[in-house]
Amino acid sequence: MPDSERLRETLERNEVLVGLLRRARDLGLPHWYLTAGCVAQTVWNVLTGRPPADGIKDYDLFYHDPADLGWAAEDSVIRAVAAVCADLPAEVEVRNEARVHLWYEAKFGTPCRPFATTEEAIDAFPAVCSCVGVRLRHDGSWHVHAPHGLGDLFAMIVRPNPVLAPREVYESKAARWRSRWPELTVLPWS
């Protein structure tokens, strides 16, 4: 079975994630993906026999809209998503990836060039295994963006991706994940 099909079958076990995919699709956000921890953590939960949504802190919904980089525009999208997801038992983190460069350095101490696409933002996540985004198309098919493939994700390997995030961000995420999923193999920052 191809890794992308295996990913879909695994993620479909998380009813919250699937519900969010459907709602995000219907919102029509530009260049959106459900991504990062909620994808990786669902896979790890399934692989280790835990309930699929167990321990997932939040669900990251990223989109890319360079037309309006103001906070008010992003906040409007955040509120719209919150309204359509109010009945889901999940915190949904919504971010316009076209705006990341405006706040990233203040938060993480490292400058960030503007992302031209949502895919560029996903490609810059601190761990290779979380560089995965999924989107549900209107015909019901799934689109998967995984620039490093899905090998590390399914092997439960946390490997640094030093494209953008500083070492401390990687190590903090890896330690938090390892405390929840001790089965993970965490590779050191090189």
Cα angle 108-39-20, degrees, rounded to a multiple of 5: 105
User: pLDDT (tens digit, 9 = 90+) per residue, 66-95?
Assistant: 999 999 999 999 999 999 999 999 999 999
pTM of the model: 0.94
For the chain, how many helices (H) and strands (E)?
A: 8, 7
Per-residue pLDDT, 190: 83
Q: What's the number of domains the chain is made of?
A: 1
The whole domain housing 91 covers 3-186
User: pLDDT (tens digit, 9 = 90+) per residue, 8-65?
Assistant: 999 999 999 999 999 999 999 999 999 999 999 999 999 999 999 999 989 999 999 9
Q: What is the mean pLDDT of the chain?
A: 95
User: pLDDT (tens digit, 9 = 90+) per residue, 146-155?
Assistant: 999 999 999 9
User: pLDDT (tens digit, 9 = 90+) per residue, 114-143?
Assistant: 999 999 999 999 999 999 999 999 999 999
Q: Where are the alpha helices (DSSP H) in the chain?
A: 3-11, 15-27, 37-47, 71-84, 100-108, 118-123, 151-155, 167-180
Per-residue pLDDT, 160: 97
Whether residue 1 has pLDDT greater than 70: no
% of the chain residues with pLDDT over 70: 99
